[in-house]
Amino acid sequence: MSSLSVKHLLGIKNLTPQDINLILETATNFKEVLNRPIKKVPSLRDITIANVFFENSTRTRLSFELAQKRLSADVINFSSSSSSVKKGETLLDTVNNILAMKVDMIVMRHQSPGAPHFLSKHIKANIINAGDGTHEHPTQALLDAFSIKEKLGELEGKKIAIIGDILHSRVALSNIFLLQKMGAQVMVCGPSTLIPKYISEIGVIVETDVKKALKWCDVANVLRIQLERQQIKYFPSLREYSLYFGINKKMLDELDKQILLMHPGPINRGVELSSDAADSNHSIILDQVENGVAIRMAVLYLLASVKQN
Amino acid sequence: MSKRLILNTNLLDITLNRLCQQLIENHNDFSNSVIIGMQPRGYFPAKRIQEKLEFLLNKTILIGRLDTTFYRDDFRRRETPIKANTTDIPFIIEGKKVILIDDVLFTGRTVRSALDAMTAFGRPDKVELLVLIDRKYTRELPIEADYVGKYVDSVFSQRVLAEWKEQGCQEDAIWLET
């Protein structure tokens, strides 16, 4: 199969395992392109893409922009903090104004879950969800899976522990969907106040002891405490969180095996991960960032490759 | 659907031997020449030629694989998009003489995209094209091969099919499918 079954990348929920494999294989080819002397292919040279970010971002925004430029697309960037959204312009108006300038694809990050889904019902352009509130972040899950596959060979049967603020994490949810679709086992670990109450119904193991989680897993995907999304206090203090759930190098060395340590970024050094753990040889955090560009190139390329009339 | 055999295993081997001799005539000891096989099917004849040359010249000949999917001119114009294959060029092509090898030369568009793709790796001194089968009169771009295994008269609706042992076929053979 050489094309995706979806027109937009709204979430991992809508992807089939064949779609996921196609994206991962295509990303392998693009990773090779990124190691050439001239890191550019002309495929998307007739396409204009708007990066519409209503929430802050470093990695995702830069990664998408770089991926688009490597594919020779024209890129325009929109960030709500310096736009007419501050004057009260609605989401649909903002996007329709951008589309009136003949933009072919939209990459959007928005604080409301379902915002890209809403948009997909009203506009013709391809939409890529770069994160919608606490719902999904599909390209992050894809690059996480790619990074795991790169180091461990396969996803099927592998044990991945997602550790941290599961309740507010779109990275956690997208990862859970993807890893389960690809036959991996998933555990979520964190303070019980930060684990959704009925999450075991979707087939994940729930654990509140981080040492047990590390012992069980092949891969530990550590999440940031999403302070900006917490209206109430879910734990007494950051210091207490890091005492009970923080991961340091000593804990990793005490395991009788080598596990992979991942983090979507940005890291709160000293909270969920100590510096010596983040910079240790278990960590593939910077590989994740490198792979992010290749994965986003694959997604953009595959969504664009549908025949135009 | 009928198949006519163009080159059987023996004739294919003779043709490959003759092509190797032609290459040696022009490239001498291959001190500054490299082979690049075009994905997906050009790599098989390229590998055969590399092995024969290494035997004849008693030295290592550099070989790479080039996939041109991202440089095609029919992107967003096909009913079914093409899936990319591996590109692996483990040497520098800057200043080298490149022998680009493919199984069939048809419209010439794949070769055009290969020339574009190569510029991402450097500026070769010279690029020559070697094909096993040259389908005459079907060119859509001004591109011709420097070394040809066999010329075949064909119409657009026909297909030249190369079968290689590596793909699981019993023996190497080239067919014309109508």
Nearest to A307 among B69, B77, B88 (CB): B77
Contact B67 A42 (CB under 8 A): no
Nearest to B87 among A2, A32, A301 (CB): A32
Neighbours of B132 (CB within 10 A): 30
Contact B84 A29 (CB under 8 A): yes
**Parallel/antiparallel/unpaired status of strands B63-66 and B173-177:** unpaired
- Buried b or exposed e, range B108-128, using 16+ CB within 10 angstroms: bbbbbbbbbbbebbbebeebb
**Parallel/antiparallel/unpaired status of strands B173-177 and B159-163:** antiparallel
Which pLDDT does position A275 carry in this prediction?
94
Report the domain count for chain B.
1
Nearest to A38 among B67, B69, B120 (CB): B120
Q: For residue A83, how many C-alpha atoms fall within 13 Å in the half-sphere facing its CB?
A: 18
Contact B77 A308 (CB under 8 A): yes
Q: What is the CATH number of the domain that holds B98?
A: 3.40.50.2020
Asked whether residue B122 is domain-assigned, the answer is: yes
Collapsing DSSP states into helix, strand and coil, what is residue B163?
strand
Give A309→chain B minimum CA distance, Å: 8
Q: What does the pLDDT look like over B91-149, one tens digit per residue?
A: 999 999 999 999 999 999 999 999 999 999 999 999 999 999 999 889 999 999 999 99
Chain A residue closest in CA terms to B68: A41
Contact A26 B84 (CB under 8 A): yes
- First-to-last C-alpha distance (Å) of chain A: 21
- Of the candidates B77, B52, B76, the residue with the CA atom closest to the CA atom of residue B63: B52
Chain A residue closest in CA terms to B82: A2
User: Mean pLDDT per segment of 10 residues, for chain A of length 309 residues?
Assistant: 92 96 96 92 94 88 96 91 79 84 92 94 93 96 97 96 94 97 97 93 96 96 79 81 93 93 92 93 94 97 86
Q: What pTM does this model have?
A: 0.92
Which pLDDT does position A163 carry in this prediction?
97
Chain A residue closest in CA terms to B85: A29
Contact A2 B81 (CB under 8 A): yes
Q: Is B170 on the interface with A (CB under 8 A)?
A: no
Collapsing DSSP states into helix, strand and coil, what is residue B56?
helix
**Dist CA B130 CA B53 (whole Å):** 14
Q: Which residue has the higher pLDDT, A24 or B154?
A: A24
Q: Is B119 on the interface with A (CB under 8 A)?
A: yes
* CATH superfamily placement of domain A12-137+290-304: Aspartate/ornithine carbamoyltransferase (3.40.50.1370)
The contacts of residue B130 (CB under 8 Å, 6+ apart) are: B19, B23, B49, B99, B100, B101, B102, B145, B146, B147, B148
Asked whether residue B17 is domain-assigned, the answer is: yes
Q: What residues of chain A lie within 8 A of the CB of B74, using their CB?
A: none
Q: What does the pLDDT look like over B40-51, one tens digit per residue?
A: 899 999 999 999
Asked whether residue B130 is domain-assigned, the answer is: yes
Asked whether residue B2 is domain-assigned, the answer is: no
Is-contact B82 B110, C-beta < 8 A? no
Handedness of CA A216, A222, A226, A227 (dihedral sign): positive
Which residue has tokens 């210091």?
A239
Q: Is B95 on the interface with A (CB under 8 A)?
A: no
Question: ipTM score of the complex?
Answer: 0.87
Which pLDDT does position A81 carry in this prediction?
78
- What range does the domain containing B16 cover? 10-22+31-153
**Dist CA A177 CA A135 (whole Å):** 12
Which pLDDT does position A238 carry in this prediction?
84
Which pLDDT does position A152 carry in this prediction?
96
Contact B87 A305 (CB under 8 A): no
Give B69→chain A minimum CA distance, Å: 9
Q: For residue A283, how many C-alpha atoms fall within 13 Å in the half-sphere facing its CB?
A: 19
Asked whether residue B178 is domain-assigned, the answer is: no
* CATH superfamily placement of domain A139-286: Aspartate/ornithine carbamoyltransferase (3.40.50.1370)
Domain boundaries, chain A: 12-137+290-304, 139-286
Contact A29 B75 (CB under 8 A): no
Q: Is B113 on the interface with A (CB under 8 A)?
A: no
Contact A2 B87 (CB under 8 A): no
Decide: residue A72, CB within 10 A, 0-12 exposed, 13-18 middle, 19+ buried. Answer: middle
